[in-house]
Amino acid sequence: MRRRFAQVDVFTQTRYRGNPVAVVVDADGLSDEQMQRFAVWTNLSETTFLLQPTKPGADYRVRIFTPSEELPFAGHPTLGTCHAWLRSALNGASRLDRTRDVVQECAAGLVRVRREEGRLAFAAPPLRRSGPVDEPDVARVVAALGIARADVLDAVHADNGPPWVAVRLRDADAVLALRPGSVGDLYVGVVGPYPGGSPEAVEVRAFCPGGGNVTMEDPVTGSLNAAIAPWLESTGVVTYPYVASQGTLLGRAGRVHLSRDDEGTVWVGGTTITCVDGFVEL
Protein backbone atom coordinates (compact mmCIF):
# COMPACT_ATOMS: atom_id res chain seq x y z
CA MET A 1 0.00 0.00 0.00
CA ARG A 2 1.25 3.49 -0.89
CA ARG A 3 1.50 5.64 2.23
CA ARG A 4 2.48 9.25 2.75
CA PHE A 5 5.99 9.70 4.06
CA ALA A 6 8.25 12.52 5.25
CA GLN A 7 11.75 12.81 6.60
CA VAL A 8 12.10 15.79 8.90
CA ASP A 9 15.24 17.44 10.27
CA VAL A 10 14.76 18.57 13.88
CA PHE A 11 16.54 21.05 16.16
CA THR A 12 18.25 22.96 13.36
CA GLN A 13 17.62 25.94 11.10
CA THR A 14 19.77 24.42 8.33
CA ARG A 15 18.70 21.29 6.46
CA TYR A 16 20.87 18.24 7.14
CA ARG A 17 22.49 19.79 10.22
CA GLY A 18 20.00 18.52 12.83
CA ASN A 19 18.59 15.11 13.74
CA PRO A 20 16.40 13.41 11.11
CA VAL A 21 13.30 11.37 11.82
CA ALA A 22 11.36 9.28 9.29
CA VAL A 23 7.58 9.63 9.57
CA VAL A 24 5.03 7.30 7.98
CA VAL A 25 1.95 9.50 7.91
CA ASP A 26 -0.71 6.91 7.00
CA ALA A 27 0.30 4.12 9.34
CA ASP A 28 -3.07 2.67 10.40
CA GLY A 29 -3.26 -1.03 9.63
CA LEU A 30 0.47 -1.72 9.85
CA SER A 31 1.56 -4.56 12.13
CA ASP A 32 4.23 -4.29 14.80
CA GLU A 33 6.50 -6.44 12.62
CA GLN A 34 6.02 -4.16 9.59
CA MET A 35 6.80 -1.07 11.65
CA GLN A 36 9.92 -2.59 13.17
CA ARG A 37 11.13 -3.90 9.82
CA PHE A 38 10.73 -0.48 8.20
CA ALA A 39 12.57 1.16 11.12
CA VAL A 40 15.44 -1.27 10.55
CA TRP A 41 15.46 -0.36 6.86
CA THR A 42 15.52 3.43 7.37
CA ASN A 43 18.47 2.89 9.75
CA LEU A 44 17.74 6.21 11.49
CA SER A 45 17.81 6.62 15.25
CA GLU A 46 13.99 6.72 15.19
CA THR A 47 11.17 6.11 12.73
CA THR A 48 7.63 7.08 13.68
CA PHE A 49 4.17 6.00 12.58
CA LEU A 50 1.15 8.32 12.68
CA LEU A 51 -2.09 6.65 13.74
CA GLN A 52 -5.62 7.66 14.68
CA PRO A 53 -5.79 8.59 18.40
CA THR A 54 -7.37 6.29 20.96
CA LYS A 55 -7.40 8.58 24.00
CA PRO A 56 -9.81 11.49 24.54
CA GLY A 57 -8.25 14.86 23.80
CA ALA A 58 -5.45 13.52 21.58
CA ASP A 59 -5.06 14.88 18.05
CA TYR A 60 -3.06 11.89 16.82
CA ARG A 61 -1.22 8.81 18.09
CA VAL A 62 2.40 8.02 17.34
CA ARG A 63 4.49 4.89 17.74
CA ILE A 64 8.25 5.39 17.88
CA PHE A 65 10.73 2.73 16.78
CA THR A 66 14.51 2.54 16.80
CA PRO A 67 16.15 -0.11 14.57
CA SER A 68 16.00 -2.48 17.54
CA GLU A 69 12.99 -1.61 19.72
CA GLU A 70 9.92 0.54 20.33
CA LEU A 71 10.27 3.56 22.63
CA PRO A 72 7.48 4.98 24.84
CA PHE A 73 8.68 8.53 24.18
CA ALA A 74 11.44 10.41 22.39
CA GLY A 75 12.00 14.13 21.91
CA HIS A 76 13.07 14.86 18.35
CA PRO A 77 10.59 12.30 16.95
CA THR A 78 7.83 14.10 18.85
CA LEU A 79 8.62 17.42 17.16
CA GLY A 80 9.30 15.88 13.74
CA THR A 81 6.08 13.86 13.86
CA CYS A 82 4.02 16.88 14.90
CA HIS A 83 5.60 18.83 12.02
CA ALA A 84 4.58 16.11 9.56
CA TRP A 85 1.07 15.87 11.02
CA LEU A 86 0.51 19.62 10.78
CA ARG A 87 1.60 19.58 7.11
CA SER A 88 -0.50 16.52 6.27
CA ALA A 89 -3.90 18.22 6.78
CA LEU A 90 -5.11 15.08 8.56
CA ASN A 91 -8.44 15.86 10.22
CA GLY A 92 -7.98 19.52 9.33
CA ALA A 93 -4.58 19.72 11.05
CA SER A 94 -3.40 22.49 8.74
CA ARG A 95 -6.36 24.62 9.84
CA LEU A 96 -5.80 24.00 13.55
CA ASP A 97 -6.04 27.06 15.80
CA ARG A 98 -2.42 28.10 16.25
CA THR A 99 -3.10 29.38 19.76
CA ARG A 100 -3.90 25.94 21.19
CA ASP A 101 -1.55 23.09 21.96
CA VAL A 102 -1.42 20.01 19.78
CA VAL A 103 -1.88 16.87 21.89
CA GLN A 104 0.15 13.80 20.95
CA GLU A 105 -0.70 10.35 22.23
CA CYS A 106 2.24 7.97 22.68
CA ALA A 107 3.06 5.00 24.89
CA ALA A 108 4.25 7.39 27.63
CA GLY A 109 0.87 9.16 27.67
CA LEU A 110 -0.35 12.50 26.32
CA VAL A 111 2.30 15.06 25.37
CA ARG A 112 1.49 18.69 24.54
CA VAL A 113 3.21 20.40 21.63
CA ARG A 114 2.95 24.12 20.96
CA ARG A 115 4.05 26.49 18.20
CA GLU A 116 6.27 29.37 19.28
CA GLU A 117 8.49 31.84 17.41
CA GLY A 118 8.81 29.62 14.34
CA ARG A 119 9.60 26.54 16.42
CA LEU A 120 7.73 23.59 17.83
CA ALA A 121 8.14 22.78 21.53
CA PHE A 122 6.94 19.85 23.62
CA ALA A 123 6.07 19.86 27.29
CA ALA A 124 8.66 17.74 29.07
CA PRO A 125 7.05 14.56 30.43
CA PRO A 126 7.58 13.64 34.08
CA LEU A 127 10.61 11.60 34.99
CA ARG A 128 10.03 7.93 35.65
CA ARG A 129 13.23 7.79 37.69
CA SER A 130 15.43 10.50 39.15
CA GLY A 131 17.95 10.95 41.95
CA PRO A 132 21.65 10.19 42.45
CA VAL A 133 23.35 7.34 40.62
CA ASP A 134 24.87 4.56 42.72
CA GLU A 135 28.66 4.42 42.68
CA PRO A 136 28.87 1.06 40.85
CA ASP A 137 26.85 2.58 37.99
CA VAL A 138 28.97 5.74 38.05
CA ALA A 139 32.03 3.50 37.75
CA ARG A 140 30.49 1.84 34.66
CA VAL A 141 29.84 5.24 33.09
CA VAL A 142 33.36 6.48 33.90
CA ALA A 143 34.87 3.36 32.33
CA ALA A 144 32.70 3.70 29.22
CA LEU A 145 33.61 7.36 28.77
CA GLY A 146 37.30 6.75 29.37
CA ILE A 147 37.62 9.41 32.07
CA ALA A 148 38.55 9.56 35.76
CA ARG A 149 35.96 9.44 38.55
CA ALA A 150 37.10 12.92 39.62
CA ASP A 151 36.04 14.28 36.20
CA VAL A 152 32.37 13.60 37.03
CA LEU A 153 31.04 16.50 39.11
CA ASP A 154 27.52 15.09 39.42
CA ALA A 155 25.52 12.10 38.18
CA VAL A 156 21.75 11.54 38.26
CA HIS A 157 19.10 9.28 36.80
CA ALA A 158 17.02 11.17 34.22
CA ASP A 159 14.61 8.54 32.89
CA ASN A 160 11.69 9.99 30.90
CA GLY A 161 11.29 7.07 28.51
CA PRO A 162 14.88 6.41 27.55
CA PRO A 163 16.62 5.48 30.84
CA TRP A 164 19.22 8.26 30.76
CA VAL A 165 22.08 8.37 33.24
CA ALA A 166 23.24 12.00 33.12
CA VAL A 167 26.70 13.15 34.15
CA ARG A 168 28.09 16.67 34.39
CA LEU A 169 31.68 17.49 33.51
CA ARG A 170 33.58 20.68 34.30
CA ASP A 171 32.91 22.46 30.99
CA ALA A 172 31.88 22.12 27.35
CA ASP A 173 35.46 21.47 26.22
CA ALA A 174 35.62 18.38 28.45
CA VAL A 175 32.38 17.12 26.88
CA LEU A 176 33.71 17.67 23.36
CA ALA A 177 36.96 15.88 24.21
CA LEU A 178 35.22 12.58 25.04
CA ARG A 179 36.01 9.54 22.92
CA PRO A 180 33.88 6.85 24.58
CA GLY A 181 34.18 3.10 24.34
CA SER A 182 31.24 0.74 24.70
CA VAL A 183 28.40 1.94 26.97
CA GLY A 184 26.94 -1.56 27.06
CA ASP A 185 23.24 -1.28 27.86
CA LEU A 186 23.53 2.21 29.35
CA TYR A 187 21.97 5.39 27.94
CA VAL A 188 24.51 8.05 28.91
CA GLY A 189 23.98 11.79 28.64
CA VAL A 190 26.91 14.13 29.22
CA VAL A 191 26.72 17.89 29.75
CA GLY A 192 29.17 20.71 30.43
CA PRO A 193 28.68 24.50 30.59
CA TYR A 194 30.04 27.11 28.23
CA PRO A 195 31.53 30.31 29.70
CA GLY A 196 29.04 32.95 30.78
CA GLY A 197 27.85 35.15 27.94
CA SER A 198 28.19 32.43 25.29
CA PRO A 199 25.31 32.01 22.80
CA GLU A 200 24.74 28.48 24.11
CA ALA A 201 24.65 27.64 27.80
CA VAL A 202 25.81 24.02 27.61
CA GLU A 203 27.17 21.36 25.28
CA VAL A 204 25.33 18.03 25.40
CA ARG A 205 26.24 14.58 24.06
CA ALA A 206 24.13 11.41 24.12
CA PHE A 207 25.53 7.88 23.89
CA CYS A 208 23.25 4.88 23.37
CA PRO A 209 23.58 1.10 22.93
CA GLY A 210 24.06 0.17 19.29
CA GLY A 211 24.01 -3.60 19.66
CA GLY A 212 26.89 -5.76 20.84
CA ASN A 213 29.77 -3.51 21.87
CA VAL A 214 28.76 -0.72 19.50
CA THR A 215 28.04 2.74 20.94
CA MET A 216 25.88 5.13 18.97
CA GLU A 217 26.00 8.91 19.46
CA ASP A 218 22.67 10.63 18.90
CA PRO A 219 23.04 13.93 17.00
CA VAL A 220 20.44 16.00 18.92
CA THR A 221 18.34 14.54 21.71
CA GLY A 222 15.09 16.11 22.88
CA SER A 223 14.35 13.56 25.60
CA LEU A 224 17.78 13.97 27.20
CA ASN A 225 17.64 17.76 27.14
CA ALA A 226 14.13 17.63 28.60
CA ALA A 227 15.21 15.27 31.37
CA ILE A 228 18.30 17.20 32.49
CA ALA A 229 16.94 20.76 32.30
CA PRO A 230 15.37 20.80 35.80
CA TRP A 231 18.52 19.23 37.28
CA LEU A 232 20.79 21.78 35.61
CA GLU A 233 18.57 24.65 36.74
CA SER A 234 18.26 23.38 40.32
CA THR A 235 22.04 23.07 40.65
CA GLY A 236 22.69 26.55 39.26
CA VAL A 237 24.33 25.43 36.01
CA VAL A 238 21.69 27.20 33.85
CA THR A 239 18.86 29.67 34.16
CA TYR A 240 15.75 29.61 31.96
CA PRO A 241 15.46 30.29 29.10
CA TYR A 242 18.63 28.79 27.67
CA VAL A 243 19.94 27.12 24.53
CA ALA A 244 21.79 23.80 24.49
CA SER A 245 24.23 22.88 21.72
CA GLN A 246 24.50 19.27 20.55
CA GLY A 247 25.93 17.33 17.61
CA THR A 248 29.03 19.49 17.18
CA LEU A 249 31.48 16.61 16.67
CA LEU A 250 29.06 14.91 14.26
CA GLY A 251 29.01 17.91 11.94
CA ARG A 252 25.57 18.97 13.11
CA ALA A 253 24.34 22.33 14.37
CA GLY A 254 21.77 21.17 16.90
CA ARG A 255 20.17 23.88 19.02
CA VAL A 256 17.63 22.99 21.68
CA HIS A 257 15.64 25.82 23.28
CA LEU A 258 14.65 25.21 26.92
CA SER A 259 12.18 27.35 28.86
CA ARG A 260 9.82 27.09 31.83
CA ASP A 261 6.35 28.65 31.96
CA ASP A 262 4.54 30.21 34.92
CA GLU A 263 3.02 26.84 35.82
CA GLY A 264 6.45 25.24 36.10
CA THR A 265 6.24 23.22 32.87
CA VAL A 266 9.54 22.84 31.03
CA TRP A 267 9.24 23.30 27.25
CA VAL A 268 11.75 21.80 24.83
CA GLY A 269 11.77 23.50 21.45
CA GLY A 270 13.51 23.51 18.11
CA THR A 271 13.14 24.31 14.45
CA THR A 272 11.77 21.54 12.19
CA ILE A 273 12.38 21.33 8.41
CA THR A 274 11.06 18.85 5.84
CA CYS A 275 13.91 17.27 3.85
CA VAL A 276 12.08 14.40 2.09
CA ASP A 277 8.40 14.50 1.12
CA GLY A 278 6.60 11.78 -0.79
CA PHE A 279 5.29 8.23 -0.51
CA VAL A 280 6.54 4.86 0.65
CA GLU A 281 5.27 1.38 -0.24
CA LEU A 282 4.34 -0.60 2.87
Active site residues: 46
Residue 256 · residue 267 · CB < 8 Å? no
Long-range contacts of 193-201, Cβ-Cβ distance < 8 Å, separation of 24 or more: 193/237, 193/238, 194/245, 195/171, 199/243, 200/242, 200/243, 200/244, 200/245, 200/255, 201/237, 201/238, 201/242, 201/243, 201/244
Q: How many Cα atoms are found within 13 Å in the side-chain-facing hemisphere of 89?
A: 0
Region of 11 please: left (phi>0), alpha (psi -120 to 50) or beta.
left
Closest C-alpha to 214, from 140, 136, 144 = 144
Cα–Cα distance, 190 to 205 (Å, whole number): 5
Closest C-alpha to 150, from 159, 138, 160 = 138
